Amino acid sequence: MNLNITTNVLMDIGILQSYFFKNELKNTLILIDVNVVNNAIIKETLRLFKQKSVLLVDREPTVADVNAAVKQYPQTENIIAVGGGSSMDLGKAIAVTMTNGGDAGKLRGRNTVTRPGLPIIVAPTIPGTAAEFSASVVLNGDGYKLGIHSPYLRPEVALVDPHFFASLKADIGIPVLLDGYIHSIECLQGIIGTETSRASCRNVVAIFNEIVKSGYHPEDIKWCQLAYYANYISAFSLLGGSLGAVHALSYGVSNAMGICHSKANLAALEQLMEFYGKYTQTAFTFCSQHEVDYTLNITGAVDRQRILTVMNATRDCSSALWTNTLGDDYSNAMSDKFIKRIIDGIR
């Protein structure tokens, strides 16, 4: 068994200010989630940089976003990404695109990144995405989501300040936190996996049972540390395992309906409960306890045919994830009924 975990994780209150006070970076591109740009921690940290460009992130990243940043900031030597999975995925994609030809569209897939990217440091403001540890990013483009997968995508350093999570309301915080949980139950129930990855999954499930029992308390630093630790352990499950049908279906939901990834996951999980059994109860109990709504409400006219077309295109790019859940005899017909359930459930 080989474990290639290169990210140095530093967790402490005030870690961003203390780290960048000691480590001066030049020509730095700083990506910041729009939801935290006015956070006091961010404002204080930005004062420490003399040579910086700031790029605000307000959506899930696209191929066009990456390529535009590569062209706009050609002098960049270092990248810092602050926020959730969108900010971190965008920063990681920019880092490798700058050193691998300049076109992120040509890097989607596997074995496409041949050179190390620019140095990147991430500061996750929410636990659950595991983007600070993973060797992949997900990019929208050409009507579907598809990842770039390479060990070169792993950040050098992850700076985790538990105070970031304190301001997130349950409607946002719980779905994001459950993303890491869903990673683990997909790996645990999938056909791809090692004893180590499955042990990590079981550990995550146990921690989440404890978290759900205690309630949603982001203002409690110890609770936040436990949530981040669960996120960290969930990343281990992906080293020897794989995502599954929940993410395969949720990618289509996000692409077709513009639903954020974390809530799309819950909508997909609801349609796939037969594969994840008792593990789904933890997720939906957590949501119901805190009135988290993940129903697919779409304002305006609903073009079901367009949604079906987009979801089918996404399905065709996600066969490996469907296979991990449905088995080696997977066919499109097997996933189509779940796509139909999603579309029939739109309100």
Average per-residue pLDDT for the chain: 90
pLDDT of residue 137: 92
Query: 46 in helix, strand or coil?
Result: helix
Close Cβ partners of 15 (under 8 Å, ≥ 6 residues apart): 159, 160, 161
Strand positions, DSSP E, 125-204 = 136-141, 144-149, 157-160
Q: pLDDT tens, 19-68?
A: 999 998 989 999 999 988 998 899 999 998 988 899 999 998 999 999 99
Burial class (CB in 10 A: 0-12, 13-18, 19+), 337: exposed
Q: pLDDT tens, 82-127?
A: 998 999 999 999 999 999 999 999 999 888 999 999 999 999 998 8
Q: Mean pLDDT across the stretch 162-169?
A: 84
Close Cβ partners of 240 (under 8 Å, ≥ 6 residues apart): 1, 193, 194, 196, 197
pLDDT of residue 140: 83
Q: pLDDT tens, 235-283?
A: 878 778 889 999 999 999 988 888 889 999 999 999 999 999 889 999 9
Q: Which residue has the higher pLDDT, 215 or 4?
A: 215
Amino acid at 291: E
pLDDT of residue 144: 72
Which residue in this structure is represented by tokens 């040579």? 51
Query: Looking at the predicted structure, is the pLDDT value of residue 155 above 70?
Result: yes
pLDDT of residue 303: 84
Give me the domains of the chain, ranges plus CATH numbers: 8-164 (3.40.50.1970), 168-344 (1.20.1090.10)
Dist CA 163 CA 223 (whole Å) = 11
pLDDT of residue 99: 97
- pTM value is 0.84
Tallying the residues shown for the chain, one arrives at 347
Q: pLDDT tens, 181-195?
A: 999 999 999 999 889
pLDDT of residue 299: 60
